[in-house]
Amino acid sequence: MVAFDSNFVGIFSRFEGEICSLKRRRYCCNTDLIQKEHLSKKRFCKHLNGIFYSILVSLFTQVSFAQNDIADRENKFYQIISVPIPDSVKLEVGGLAFTDDDKLGVATRRGEIWVIEDPYQQKNRLPKYSLFASGLHEPLWLAQKNGAFYTTQRSELTKISDTNADGLADNFHTVYSWPISGNYHEYSYGPLILPNGNMLVTLNLSWVGRGESLTKWRGWMLQITEDGKMTPFATGMRSPAAFGLNKVGDIFFAENQGDWIGSGRITHLDQGDFAGHPAGLRWSGEPNSPIALKRSSFPDSAGLMFDYAKGKPNFKLPSIWFPHTVMGISTSAIISVNSDKFGPFEGQLLVGDQGHSKIMRAFLEKVNGQYQGACFPFREGFSSGILRMAWGSDNSLFVGMTSRGWASTGKDLYGLQRLKWDGKIPMEIKEMRITKDGFDLEFTKPVDQKMAASVSNYAMTGFTYSYHKKYGSPVINSRKCTIKKATVSSDGKTVKLDINGLREGYIHELKVDNLKSADGEEILHPKAYYTINSFPEGSVHDHHAMNHDNKVEVSGCGEDSQKSVREQPSDWKKGPDIIITMATKPGLKFDKELIEVRPGAKVKLIFNNNDDMLHNLVITTPGKGAEVGKLAMDMGLDGTNAGYIPATNSVLFHTCLIQPETSQTIYFTAPKAGDYPYLCSFPGHSFVMKGIMRVK
């Protein structure tokens, strides 16, 4: 490997001497770089906040303390360790792959591949970074096979090798290429290397105000052999950034909310499957297409995906829905837990989330031959947006991150951290299995028998999403289920719930309250979301169709219509005093960060959502921007149907959550002089999508 050039050495020597410099303050404080002195560090950092940061920032830290409560509890079992990065390296992680000699390869969005020696910091506190390759076009994945790296660039699958073993890549071989149009959304991911050496890649749809497949095989997963033979494998994908194998080698991919995709989810894929977004079907007529479905057969609004899929060959339902904003907003990585060295979750999947900087957990079971199951929160509080995960040889999980252009709750622009299990078993719902009568909950530790037997400690609600070409979906057809009976097994590890009101094709939210382990430990994450695609044979549940209330979907918009006046008030005889047009910019931004109005001015505010995501505009009372953002985030499922407008006096005026490429106008009278924050309260956006309305 190449030695550092003089630059790097210098940076590391500075790094050595650092304690919690101003620049790295957040880095030190929000994560657990220094574990042993965790508490005292936190105090120290809090102190530093006071010294170095203005009121605005301390507001943020107040909020983040509440938010970090759960992260602090999680940290007792799974610790986040930051892998130091030299200042000169912009490690905007696109891909992670270990080499045969246990070095970590990292592909970056700027087209580099770095090789990190001893990323475990066993030999040295500062791991050694070597630049192995550069110049690639936005590699968003990294794999390793027989001593060579593989990645996708925008238009090809590339094998990158070091033929003379000098530690520098010297051959960039095109394994297979595909045409691209130059559209920004045409990201390519992979390869996932299968046990037989074949490779899978996925191709994002183009974005032209909606997802389209402008060139051949966009929206598809392709299987490619080492010698460049390609077979179209499956389609129906919109933004398939994440895919992986479970312990037995079945393929799962993760999808992000968007047009036709009501919420994030993971789907099991077999060859020839169609996963829901119709744009890729443009190529289903090609001679080598394994799918016969026609693009033209899809109406703009197709009801429920579960119903629409019935009787259609190749149509694959999501294995597990990850309800938007409560279980992340942008699933981005899937990895299987294949050993018991990472805690009690062997055989389960971990799913990363970019926007929420967290990892979730998925338990899958096969019912009537198809996968379905439940997702659970697992670990939050990572430093940037998670894009990739990889297992280290010490069974710690490396997490590669970037947030450029897509903001994340972890504020760093990029980062590399790892998650390490400390050997203690957290009290968790380990598995949630569907039964003929309801669900069996298996816990990681014996439960308190008395608490666990009380039906009032469980609550379940079923809901689903619309299947339509619009972007995202509100939560629809929501209905409570009745917990009839809770029976605890003799070993105390399993609770059998008998439940009325479960529905096929619905997601079922389970909330557990007031339940502890036998030794008094609270459940770390007392909620789960189980997707029922089918009931086990012999079930006594109601039939789905009978309970299917096709009520009109409504995406709500706050509770107080006076805060969102959408007709010009009749007493504004001369019309508005000022018209403000606010638009969005790519990268989660408003196009203006400061607007000025006079006190008492009649304001007409036109909000244009030019982005490819849902946004709103919420004006708050002075100093309350961060608080409102936090409240909106905490609304969970309810938020979806309230347009993420929290019911609080801190919200003064707001638009609704509006679709991409739409516009909404609100009217209000400017309050007294002051600085009024405005933000997009969609969970995860408010950290960067904000500004100030100055009344003076």
Provide the 8-state DSSP code for 15.
H
Name, in order, each residue with C-beta under 8 angstroms of 13's C-beta and a sequence gap of 6 or more. Answer: none
Q: Least distance to another protein from the beta carbon of 633, Å? A: 23
34 vs 606 by CB, closer to another protein: 606
182 vs 299 by CB, closer to another protein: 182
134 vs 339 by CB, closer to another protein: 134
Near another protein in 208-267, by CB under 8 A: 209, 228
Only segment of 78-86, 141-149, 176-184, 259-267 that touches another protein (CB under 8 A): 176-184
Residue from 48, 59, 168, 459 that binds another protein (CB under 8 A)? 168
Partnered with residue 441 across adjacent β-strands are 432, 495
Q: Least distance to another protein from the beta carbon of 202, Å? A: 18
Q: How many other C-beta atoms can be found within 10 angstroms of the C-beta atom of residue 511?
A: 12
Only segment of 175-183, 231-239, 366-374, 491-499 that touches another protein (CB under 8 A): 175-183
Q: Least distance to another protein from the beta carbon of 7, Å? A: 10
Near another protein in 284-313, by CB under 8 A: none
Q: Is 138 in the site for another protein (CB under 8 A)?
A: yes
Owner of token pair 């809090």? 46
Element (H, E) at 50: helix 38-52
| CA of residue 430 relative to chain centroid, distance | 21
Sign, CA dihedral 4-10-15-20, equals: negative
Q: Is 130 in the site for another protein (CB under 8 A)?
A: no
CA nearest 517: which of 439, 430, 452? 452
- Are 526 and 512 in contact, with CB atoms under 8 Å apart? yes
Q: Is 10 in the site for another protein (CB under 8 A)?
A: no
Near another protein in 395-414, by CB under 8 A: 404-406
162 vs 273 by CB, closer to another protein: 162
650 vs 662 by CB, closer to another protein: 662
How is residue 570 written in tokens?
Answer: 């009749």
**How far apart, in whole angstroms, are the C-alpha atoms of residue 524 and residue 338?**
22
What does the per-residue mask of binding to another protein show for 648-687, with x meaning CB under 8 A? -------------xxx-x----------------------
**3-class secondary structure, 669:** strand
Q: Least distance to another protein from the beta carbon of 107, Å? A: 13
156 vs 273 by CB, closer to another protein: 156
49 vs 330 by CB, closer to another protein: 330
168 vs 425 by CB, closer to another protein: 168
What is the DSSP code string of 71-103? Answer: HHHHHTTEEEEEPP--TT----EEEEEE-TTSP
Q: Least distance to another protein from the beta carbon of 354, Å? A: 13
Q: Is 132 in the site for another protein (CB under 8 A)?
A: no
Q: Is 147 in the site for another protein (CB under 8 A)?
A: no
- Are 438 and 490 in contact, with CB atoms under 8 Å apart? no
**How far apart, in whole angstroms, are the C-alpha atoms of residue 317 and residue 273?**
10
Owner of token pair 């999508």? 689
**3-class secondary structure, 512:** strand
Near another protein in 525-544, by CB under 8 A: none
Q: Is 197 in the site for another protein (CB under 8 A)?
A: no
Q: Least distance to another protein from the beta carbon of 665, Å? A: 8
Q: Least distance to another protein from the beta carbon of 579, Å? A: 8
Owner of token pair 């910091």? 121
Partnered with residue 665 across adjacent β-strands are 606
Provide the 8-state DSSP code for 553.
P
**How far apart, in whole angstroms, are the C-alpha atoms of residue 534 and residue 540?**
12
Q: Is 577 in the site for another protein (CB under 8 A)?
A: no
Q: Is 585 in the site for another protein (CB under 8 A)?
A: yes
435 vs 659 by CB, closer to another protein: 659
Q: Least distance to another protein from the beta carbon of 184, Å? A: 4
Residue from 40, 171, 297, 368 that binds another protein (CB under 8 A)? 171
Residue from 24, 25, 38, 137 that binds another protein (CB under 8 A)? 137
Inter-CA distances, 408 with 89, 294, 398, 649, Å: 20, 37, 18, 27
**How far apart, in whole angstroms, are the C-alpha atoms of residue 29 and residue 44?**
9
Q: Is 606 in the site for another protein (CB under 8 A)?
A: yes
Only segment of 52-60, 105-113, 285-293, 548-556 that touches another protein (CB under 8 A): 105-113
| Number of residues lying near another protein (CB under 8 A) | 44
Q: Is 174 in the site for another protein (CB under 8 A)?
A: yes
Owner of token pair 């036998």? 518
Owner of token pair 């608490």? 451
Intra-chain end-to-end CA distance of the chain, in Å: 61
What is the DSSP code string of 356-419? Answer: TTEEEEEEEEEETTEEEEEEEEEE---SS-EEEEEE-TTSPEEEEEE-TTS--SS-SSEEEEEE
Pairing of strands 690-695, 594-597: parallel
Near another protein in 610-649, by CB under 8 A: 610
Residue from 64, 75, 79, 158 that binds another protein (CB under 8 A)? 158
Which residues would be at the binding site for another protein (CB under 8 A)?
109-111, 134-138, 153-156, 158-159, 163, 168-174, 177, 180-182, 184, 209, 228, 404-406, 581, 583, 585-587, 606, 608, 610, 661-663, 665
